[in-house]
């Protein structure tokens, strides 16, 4: 039996925090919560959680501001973004800021606990929705513009992401593609890294085009 994961909760909706707390407090250790950027940064630095459950949309700068405020002082803290909004640009932005995954608020308690544990273990948590956003983002970068392999997914990474988007778990994907679960995780982590390192300009073009169409 593993020790309970130490979790900090950041969301500006009191009702939602209370709901999460009542659902998962028996399986993870909720060491603190905050409703805005300033108190979140302060609380996270003081309590040093393993995982921060971070709302994408917060007053005064959003979840991104929390990551920016904590990252240098506490590099060991991992972030799992969650949101009721499905705005792709916001989600991609917070992943690029350093979040290790993204889940929607409609996720069940069991799935949320599982996602928290995986992030604590250093894995990336890709919900089907996030996988869709990422595929969309990389598909929009024109091949002619690609100056490094960072801006493109390999065929295998694409295949893995497609399966995630289709609703398969890592274990199911490993069975279907005849690779180990560890390899699936490696591919997903590689995608995450590429997303964070890809030229900002190319992705902003993508975001702008999404807003137009």
Partner 1 sequence: MTDSADPSGEPGIERALRRVVLGFRVVGATWLALLGAVVLATTESADPAVTLATVVLAAGWAAATVARGAQPGGLRSWWWLAADLAVASWTIAGPTVVAGQRTTFFGGFPFTAVVLAVWARGLTGGLIAAGALSAATLGRLGFVDGDATVPVSQAVENVVFYVVAAAVLAWTADVLRRNDRLRREAESALAQERAERIRSQERAETAAHLHDSVLQTLALIQRRTGDPAEVTVLARRQERELRTWLAGGAPAGDGGSFAAAVASAAEEVERLHGVRVEVVTVGDAPLDEGLAALVAAAREALVNAARHSRVDRVAVYAETSEDAATVFVRDRGVGFDPVAVDGDRRGIAESITGRLRRRGGHARVTSAPGAGTEVEMTVARRAP
Determine contact, residues 77/50, Cβ cutoff 8 Å: yes
Least distance (Å) between residue 85 CB and partner 1: 8
In angstroms, give the least distance from the CB of 83 to partner 1: 12
Contact stretch for partner 1 (CB under 8 A) within 15-23, 73-81, 95-103, 159-167? 159-167
Q: Segment near partner 1 (CB under 8 A), from 12-20, 41-49, 57-65, 162-170?
A: 162-170
- 81 DSSP β-pair partners: 54, 102
Report residue 132 as tokens: 């869709």
- For residue 104, which of 91, 120, 117 has the smallest C-alpha distance? 91
Using alpha carbons, list the distances in angstroms from residue 56 to 40, 65, 67, 71, 167.
13, 10, 11, 16, 22
Q: How far is the CB of 109 from partner 1 (least distance, A)?
A: 15
Given a contact cutoff of 8 angstroms between Cβ atoms, the answer to whether 43 and 20 are in contact is no
Binding residues among 128-157 for partner 1 as defined by CB under 8 A: 128-129, 131-132, 135-136, 139
CA atoms of 53 and 171, how far apart (whole Å):
24
Q: Is 211 in the site for partner 1 (CB under 8 A)?
A: no
Query: Comparing C-alpha atoms, which of 68, 122, 132, 127 is closest to residue 96?
Result: 68
Q: Give me 116's structure tokens.
A: 């928290």
The contact pattern for partner 1, residues 79-108, with x = CB under 8 A and - = no contact, is: -------x-------------------x--
By rule CB under 8 A, what count of residues binds partner 1? Answer: 15
Q: Angle 88-97/128-139 helices, nearest 10 degrees?
A: 90
Contact between 194 and partner 1 per CB under 8 A: no
Q: Which of 39, 47, 152, 162 binds partner 1 (CB under 8 A)?
A: 162
167 interacts with partner 1 by CB under 8 A: yes
Which residues in this chain contact partner 1 in the complex, by CB under 8 A? 86, 106, 128-129, 131-132, 135-136, 139, 162, 165-168, 213
């Amino acid at each position: 039996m593993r020790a309970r994961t130490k979790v900090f909760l950041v969301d500006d909706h009191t009702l939602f925090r209370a709901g999460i707390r009542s659902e998962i407090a028996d399986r993870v250790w909720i060491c603190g919560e905050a409703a805005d950027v300033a108190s979140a940064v302060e609380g996270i630095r003081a309590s040093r959680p393993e995982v921060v459950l971070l709302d994408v949309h917060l007053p005064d700068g959003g979840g991104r501001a929390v990551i920016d405020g904590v990252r240098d002082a506490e590099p060991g803290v991992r972030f799992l973004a969650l949101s009721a909004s499905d705005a792709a640009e916001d989600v991609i932005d917070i992943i690029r800021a350093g979040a290790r995954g993204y889940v929607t608020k409609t996720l069940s308690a069991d799935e949320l606990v599982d996602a928290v544990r995986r992030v604590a273990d250093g894995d990336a948590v890709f919900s089907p929705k996030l996988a869709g956003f990422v595929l969309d983002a990389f598909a929009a970068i024109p091949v002619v513009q690609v100056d490094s392999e960072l801006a493109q997914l390999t065929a295998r990474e694409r295949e893995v992401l497609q399966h995630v988007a289709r609703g398969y778990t890592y274990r199911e994907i490993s069975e279907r593609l005849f690779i180990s679960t560890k390899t699936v995780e490696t591919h997903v982590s590689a995608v995450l890294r590429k997303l964070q390192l890809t030229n900002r300009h190319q992705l902003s073009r993508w975001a702008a085009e999404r807003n137009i169409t």
